[in-house]
Amino acid sequence: MGRLSVTLCGIEMDNPVIPASGTFGFGYEFAELYDINILGTFSFKGTTKDPRFGNPTPRIAECTAGMINAVGLQNPGVDKVIAEELPKLKTCFHKPVMANVSGFSVPDYAYTCEKLDKEEQVGWLEVNVSCPNVHGGGMSFGTSPEAAAEVVRAVKAVTTKPVIVKLSPNVTDIVAIAKACEAAGADGISLINTLLGMRIDLRTKKPVIANKMGGFSGPAIFPVAVRMVYQVAHAVNIPVVGMGGVSTAEDVIEMMLAGATAVEVGAANLVDPYACEKMIRDLPAVMDRYGIANLKDIIGGVQ
Amino acid sequence: MKQTIFTITENTPLTATVYRMVLTGDTDGIATGQFVNILLDGLYLRRPISVCDCQGDTLTLLYKVVGKGTAQMAAMIAGQTLDLLTGLGNGYDLSKAGDKPLLIGGGVGVPPLYMLARQLREQGKAVSVILGFNTADEVFYEQEFKALGCDVTVTTADGSHGVKGFVTAALPVDYSYFYTCGPEPMLKAVYKATATSGQFSFEERMGCGFGACMGCSCKVITGYKRICKDGPVLEKEEILWDA
């Protein structure tokens, strides 16, 4: 066990760095550039019961220190993910992977999670109750403690692997939702998903994104993410995975001080495909600079 | 795909808004019809720009100033460096050209056709080129295509230079295959007006530019494709136009 190692829901990881779902595909594009086995793990492209094309384009908008996306959960559906993507993934990634799941009804979530739970490569199930992109979709589950808890109970009833619930920041009281998920049996919480945002093109006077609104991510949201990770980590007794604008090794340490056991990296991967590789490489020197012997010792260590 | 630092050796205006930037660096793996994704100071997402030409360690990009990113590029001078992702996209397939390929470019869709024209000429093909612009003062690279030995026709919408009208007003009768790049209304017109198979290069707002984010997906006959990774070049037979 190295000084970067952490344990997330009983699974040992070489380091806490996890590329976030939707920014890393199924890993192949990045495997062309570096050995992705250096990662703690990664959370693969959000998977649903049925195939989805997603939203019309444009789906992307530039922002100051960030971006908005409204991809709309484009994915080939759980059966194709199992039949085609996971066997392909096996050739370039040999660690337990995090399976990210979205749904549009409680049975949808249970169906998809039950199937992925049986896959040997899957280490954790990350249940996205927070995607803000789909009209009438995941959003409603993540904005109500009762609805989020209902999803967790349904998923836990049909799975054996750790279930991490990915929460939306677009709520009044994220702590109440996190606590409801914990009480319903969640093994971990990950947060934050993107903040609902919008840009308008001055020339056309139309929204930049075809779907009008989308999820705002990138360094601009980092302080919001640190705050919410801190609030949730101090309110629950299950591990928290922190994410939102993480771009450097220093950001990883800050998230962990706020209470994160592991840290996901999203938008940064799209700008610099080596972002996670650099963070992992930089972590030992940054830890030395701040007198940190082992990362696992600083989780929630904010004074 | 590769991430490399390039050094600018030239950055000059060709028209009021279109610039040519010449850079040197590691060009290994760059193919015709591909694009590079450029990191710029203070801007979050990279800017995708098509490859106009690539020979030895020299990369040529032609770009139109339309927003903050391209304005920043226009202000750069020789000696400055840029962080580029190179080798992005599928590029044009030259093997289908036949003996008399036709290249049709409109506005900033013209640049990626230059390297294609050069390579097709090097293969000894009789290359016809139609370059479409709005007005005479927007015209660029007419002489450069002629210098390659291509049969060049320029069209302008207002008739101030060359043939009056859109590129479809100048379609020749006899061509073996075609390659095109330009604004979507032009691509649709070319799709309808052409008699042979051909390849279309598309543009879309991108997140990553290398296939990870699904930001630029489009529907095709066989399912969906990512413009950045499975495109930007699509075959005529697979295209599904938006309603």
Is residue B146 within 8 Å of residue B152, measured between CB atoms? yes
CA distances to A69, B37, B47, B160, B243 from B205, rounded to whole Å, are 11, 12, 9, 32, 19
pLDDT 10s digits, B27-86: 999 999 999 999 999 999 999 999 999 999 999 999 999 999 999 999 999 999 999 999
Helices A145-157 and A106-117 meet at what angle, rounded to 10?
40
Q: Which residues of A touch B210 (CB under 8 A)?
A: 29, 273
**Predicted complex ipTM:** 0.91
Which of A61, A270, A274 lies closest to B213 in CB terms?
A270
**What is the per-residue burial (b if ≥16 Cβ within 10 Å, else e) of A180-193?**
bbbebebbbbbbbb
Which value, in Å, is the radius of gyration of the alpha carbons in chain B?
Answer: 17
Q: Which residues of B touch A (CB under 8 A)?
A: 1, 3, 39, 43-46, 85, 204-208, 210-219, 224, 229, 242
Q: Could you give the 3-state DSSP secondary structure of residue A277? A: helix
Interchain proximity B1–A29, CB inside 8 Å: yes
Confidence label for A1 from pLDDT (cuts 50, 70 and 90): low
Which residues 6+ apart lie within 8 Å of B133 measured at CB?
B106, B107, B139, B154, B155, B156, B157, B161
pLDDT 10s digits, B156-186: 999 999 999 999 999 998 999 999 999 999 9
Q: Kindly list the structural domains of chain B, giving each domain's residue range(s) and its CATH number in brackets, ordered by start.
A: 2-88 (2.40.30.10), 94-201 (3.40.50.80)
Please state the φ and ψ torsions of residue B87, each to the nearest 5 degrees. 70, 30
Residue boundaries of the structural domains of chain A = 6-56+72-198+217-298
Interchain proximity A74–B224, CB inside 8 Å: yes
* A·B CB contacts under 8 A: 92
Q: Which residues of A touch B3 (CB under 8 A)?
A: 33, 272-274
Q: Which residues of B touch A64 (CB under 8 A)?
A: 44
Domain A6-56+72-198+217-298, CATH class in plain words: alpha beta
Q: Which of A9, A63, A92, A131 is catalytic?
A: A131
Q: Is A131 a catalytic residue?
A: yes
Stated pTM of the model: 0.94
Which of B43, B205, B217 lies closest to A54 in CB terms?
B217
Which residues 6+ apart lie within 8 Å of B190 measured at CB?
B104, B167, B168, B178, B180, B182, B198, B200
The answer, for A274 touching chain B at a CB cutoff of 8 Å, is yes
Confidence label for A132 from pLDDT (cuts 50, 70 and 90): very low
* Residue (of A270, A219, A274, A275) closest to A249 by Cα position: A275
pLDDT 10s digits, A230-264: 999 999 999 999 999 999 999 999 999 999 999 99
Q: Which residues of B touch A208 (CB under 8 A)?
A: 205
Give Cα B104 distance to the centre of its chain.
10
CA distances to A111, A162, A236, A240, B196 from A183, rounded to whole Å, are 22, 15, 9, 15, 64
Which of A22, A45, A62 lies closest to B45 in CB terms?
A62
Distance (Å, whole) CA A168 – CA A208: 23
Interchain proximity B43–A65, CB inside 8 Å: no
